[in-house]
Structure 1
């Protein structure tokens, strides 16, 4: 199944809804900033994910942005500051 790399950024006022959105995105990627995730999402899963997120937000006060990145663009990304982010291959294990 082909996966597409997305940067997903959101600005959601409700703490409860923001938490639910982050939990949905954690299934597909890693948090790289407070409200920003890098995700690898299969094509077939993108539309259902968007629908779940859209059902949570208030379109008058909240926003969610999806930025697809090609492999070449992704390889040229740069980070400044904290670099202790997990990669997709790393799994977070809490004991």
Structure 2
């Protein structure tokens, strides 16, 4: 597929906006930590997500970073993960409708 792997991290100053961002992100990726998600996105999904996030945040108070790690099926992340959960790259899932 044409998916790229992204790490999305955000710092949202207002709890209501933070909850809206969190709920939105759950539809696009896997929750890694409090304000960090791992997402496999096509170019269209990436554009949609950026547009939706842009419409929610306060551009003076909030900050979101989308880090492109490369083609999702070819990414070999070099991650140090300490504590209760080991970091694992999300795999492509087949969805049958």
Instruction: Please classify the TM superposition score into its range, dividing by the shorter chain length.
Output: 0.7 to 0.9
Which of 63, 79, 89 is matched with 1:77 structurally?
Answer: 79
Residue 95 of structure 2 corresponds to none
Alpha-carbon distance between aligned partners in 1 of 2:55 and 2:38, rounded to the nearest angstrom: 21
Which consecutive unaligned segments of at least 5 residues does structure 1 have? 90-95
- TM (norm. structure 2) is 0.78
Q: Secondary structure at the match of 2:7?
A: strand
Q: TM-score, normalised by structure 1?
A: 0.79
Q: How many residue pairs align between the two structures?
A: 88
Matches within 5 A, 1:1-95: 1-70=1-70, 71-74=74-77, 76-83=78-85, 88=90
- Structure 2 stretches of 5 or more lacking a match? 92-97
CA–CA distance in structure 2, aligned partners of residues 41 and 72 of structure 1: 13
Runs of 4+ in 1 over 4 A off after TM superposition: 84-87
Give CA-to-partner distance per residue, 1:37-64, whole Å, 9 cap, x none.
0111111111111011011111111000
